[in-house]
Structures are given as structure tokens and as C-alpha cells.
Structure 1
Amino acid sequence: METNTTNPAKVHTSVLLNEIIEWIAPKPGGLYLDGTLGMGGHSSAILEKAGEGAQLVGLDRDEQALELAKIRLAPFGDRAHRFHLAFSKFEIALNEMGWDKIDGAILDLGVSSLHLDHADRGFSFAKDGPLDMRMDPSGGMPPASSIVNKGSHSDLNRIFKLYGEEPLGSKIASAIIAAREIKKITTTLELAAIVSKTYPAKRKALSRTHPATKTFQGLRIAVNSELEELKMFLHRITERLNPGARIAVISFHSLEDRIVKRSFRDQSQSCTCPPMQPMCTCGNEQRLTLLTKKPLLPTEEEMEGNPRSRSAKLRVAERSQDTK
């Protein structure tokens, strides 16, 4: 695969960049975590804004993205540290650095241009390539083709409906099973064509997106265990935040945003017992303070300049002061 190794900024435009900097509020000497380093757009802006002494750990499952980030972060020298890790394994990186607590953490859960624009990664239904979709092909997880060709009707239907929010999940699952009995489904365009034929003409005419959009989303999430990764990260990251440190998460579909919203809400409550219960027995302590009651959205100007930002939502919370 060819990549732009001279100017990563031209490969991918970071979403909600100004908002991330405003809410994370980087400071000199601060320690920061970018759980989805990508090509380093958010990270480079954080280090530039923070100034002298600030350091950042960036994680990514994609080794190609890490190489591009290396170029973008080169001006910051040993202030930037890259790790080939899923963001749910952030403790490994922090422990290796000797960082007990950090001053801010971010996640950008979007699929980058590096994935969508290169057919050989298998993420795009608009370009023909192997049906792969793995963020980290070296991680031992099976590709999307394995799920498509081996999954039962109930498994496929669950993936399409639960992860893709596709109402025609059962019908699409049946079409896939019928097609694979004739020929193994191995490419993105083969799958996209099967899904497209399943869609009624009227539904196609009224839709603003390709018929395979939700099916591909569901498969990608399943292949990479994306929602499980997010839940694990949100459950554990708070303990590694200094009081007053902020966590900012950019999501791109309702499943992700719902998980972030619920996690921030639950951690911002001092008691999670049922409302009708006379006494508190949960022993829960408030860990976060919500800073964005509603998600922040891109400006009209950003959406016009970067159409892929249109579905982005940003939620921010702050680590509460220790009460012990």
C-alpha cells in the first residue's frame, strides 16, 4: 500500500481539533494520552499547545498509522511516545513510561482516511479489495470474510442489527448465505453488491447513503471488537486521571455515543442505587464531572471542509477531586 510519507496532514484531517484543544487545555509539563493516535493530528496539536516539558503517549493498533504519526510527531522529539497497542491496553504503555496519573486523555473513534481510501484494507464498499476490515492484521483476529462466509444466519443478523443498526439485517443475512453457497465471498464489492440487491428500490431512492453502509459498519465493529474496547477503556481510564484532568471522546455513530454518555453519566453520580431504595448500599463515589451535557458538534465550516466530520460528536468529562 502506498502512503503519503512526507505530509501525513494531507492524508487525514483531524475532526473537532480546535474543540479538543480547548477542552483538554494542555499545559506545560502535562502528561497526555491519545488512545487513537492515527496520524498524529490531535497529538501534535496537544504537544504544540502544551509547550515546554509536556509529554504524550499515543496508541494505535494500525502499524501504518504509527509510521505516519512518527513523521508528524518528529518535531517534538522525545516528548512523543508511540505504542502499537489497542487503547483498551493503555495501562501497559503508562506503566512502561512510569506514569501513575495523567493530565488528559482523548479518543477519536472514527475510521481514518488511511483505512477508507486504500482498497487493500477492506473497509470501503466503494473500492474493490479483500474483505478484511482489521485495524491490526497482525493481531490474530479473523478478517471480515471469515465472519461473512462462516457465520450463521443468527450471528450475521445480530451483527447487522446490533452493530450496524440495519433493519434489514435478517434479509441481508439470508442473501449472504444464499450467495456463499454458490461462491465464497472474498471482496468488498462482492459483499456490497449482495447487500445492494437486497434493498428495495424505494428504500434506495430515499436513502442518502449507500445500501451497504450499515452492513459494513456492523462487520467492522464486530471484527475489531470496537464496543468492547471502548467499554473497557472508559471503565478503567478514570483511575489514571489526575484530579481536574479531562477525558474527551469523539464518536461517529449512536452506539459509541450511547456508551460514552452512559459511562460519563454513571461515573458522575455519587449513588447508583434504584431511586426507590431507602438507603444507599452501592458505596459508589463520584469520579467524573460532566462538562458537556449534550455532545458538541462540528461547525458548519468544518463540515463543509471535511464531510467525514458530519456525524462526529464530542463528549468531555473532568476527573473529580479525590474525596478520600
Structure 2
Amino acid sequence: MTEHAPGRYRMHDLVRCYAAERVLPGPARRAAMARLLDFYLHTAHSGELRLYEHGQPIQLAPPEPGTQPIALADHLAAKAWFDAEYPNLLATLRTAAQQGRHQAVWVLAWSMASYHWRRSRLTEDLAFWRAALMATEAIGEHVLTARRFLGRALTRLGLSEEALEQLTTAAENDDPHERAQAFHTLAWYWERNGDDSAALANAQRALTLFEQLGAKASTAKAYNAVGWYLARLGDFEHARQHCERALELSSEREPEVRYGLYDSLGFIAREAGDYASAREYYQRGLALIREMGNIYEEPNVLVDIGQVSLRSGDADGARRSWLEASRTYAAQSRLNEVE
């Protein structure tokens, strides 16, 4: 065995092949595989709850006896674990799919969603959710939730026609929380496709449902979404009121909600000509994004900071922000954004 990184080991290829060819009794091999899959499923689930603390956890069966999953302490520990184990997590998904372990495929896709977004692994996220949709259809549960996540993954990659089909179907969910999440995602879909009025209508439907459910963090997120679309449509006073309400409902433990709020408030201040406040909001958002390790959103904020710089007469500052954003987009192969 070679310790190729501190605390991590690998075999020579020939030793690996020999080990794989050794014939374990069938029950022992199956039990070992079950422990291995459960280690990754339960640890990844723990990581998702650290990266997205106000999400609703899904239910997992107890791990196989002898499994020792890691209870990840915080979002930094979760990000580090996902980064280190990512090739093994890909192998776990392939193995679970090949062996028809449908529940494992669904759980793993759900547990990787926030990590894929933060690390801009968009094509991998799409592959996970295509596999998860087939898995949920096979087990007859969570199908519409899988369609919602698949629709979001498709939207991020600009595959609009299929995304709309999946999200529209997901919004038919009998679970009011899931239906609210589907409307929230549909709002973002319509924004990405140039219809802010349709985006606002869906965001308002999501807000109504979240308020009825008493889901505080999700309600804060929905207030911000409504405020954002009102601002994009030019109704800045009502937009600010919604964002301030979101700020009251949110906490420092919900970085995704706080980042979205800083983005909305920065946009409102910028359009009002208050460039100092706009820059402050965007800089706070950028600091939060970097703390989260969210490389997908980081260049988006840099573009906004460049806009503020340009409008306030700092062309050199705008150029620096946009060059940095362009390099980050290029590193993520987001060529439309580079242009």
C-alpha cells in the first residue's frame, strides 16, 4: 500500500486486480459492499446537511452493522470530505446503479446536490439526477422530487425545453412543501429564460405555500425571490420591503439565504444610484460565497461588482472585476458567461 496523501492509501494496479479476483464467499462480498455503500451514503447525507442546513433531510435506513460513517462537523469539514472523496462517490453511484440499488442512487443524488452546485459540477449533477429519476421510478417514491432536481440541473445547463417539462410536472406534487419548492425553481427557470413576470408569479405562489407551512428559512428565501423579481420589474419600493422581511426571518446560519439577500439588496441600491451601499452588499455577498466555497456563484457577484464600478466612474475597477469573472467562468467551461 502507498500513502499517496496524508491518511489516504492506494494499491498498485496489479495488486488491485489480484485482490478483486480473489473469490470471497457470496454473502461476505455482498455484506462488504453493503457496508461500503452505506458508509458513503450516510456520510454524504451528513455532509449535505452541513452544506445546506435549512434543507429538509430525507429518511435513511440504518446503516449495515459494522459501518462507521463520519459525522461531519460543519460546512468546511463537509466540503473537504466531498473534495477528497469525489472519485469514490462517482464510483459509488455507478456501483449502486449497476447493482440495482435504487434507494442508494436516490439518496446519493440528493446528498450531492449542494456540493455539485457549490463546486460548479453541473454536468455531473445532471448525470446524478438522470440516474436518480430512473431509480425513483423503479421504487415508486420521490419521483416528482427527482423531477424537480432534474429540472433545476437542466436549467443550469440551458436545456430549457426538457427543464420546463420536468419542473411543470414536479409542481403537481401533493406534498405542499415540495410543490412550493417546485414553484420556487420554476421562478428561477423563467428568469433564466427572460420572463420576469412569469418568474414573479411562480415566486409568489411559492411564498404563499411556504408561509402556510410555517417554514421559516424557506419563507425567507421566498420573500427574497419575490423581492428580486419585483426589483427586476422596476418596483423597487415593494422589492425592498420584501427583502427586508426576508432579512428579519433569516439567520447567519443560512448562508444561501443571506447571499441571495445581499445580491437583491445590492441590485436595488445600484438601480437607485446608491453605489456605495450596492458595493457593500455585493462585497458582503462575495465574502460569504468564498467562505462557502461556492465557485459557481463567485463570478456572478464579480460581474455585479464590475457594474457598480462602471456606473460610479471606476472603469479600471470594472475591468479588473470582469477579467477575474471571465477567468473563473472559463475555468468552469461556462462559455456563454465568458462571452
What TM-score results when the alignment is normalised by the length of structure 1? 0.27
Larger radius of gyration: 2
Q: Comparing both chains, which one has the higher relative contact order based on Cα–Cα distances under 8 Å and sequence gaps of 6 or more?
A: 1
Question: As a proportion of its length, which structure holds more strand?
Answer: 1
Question: As a proportion of its length, which structure holds more helix?
Answer: 2
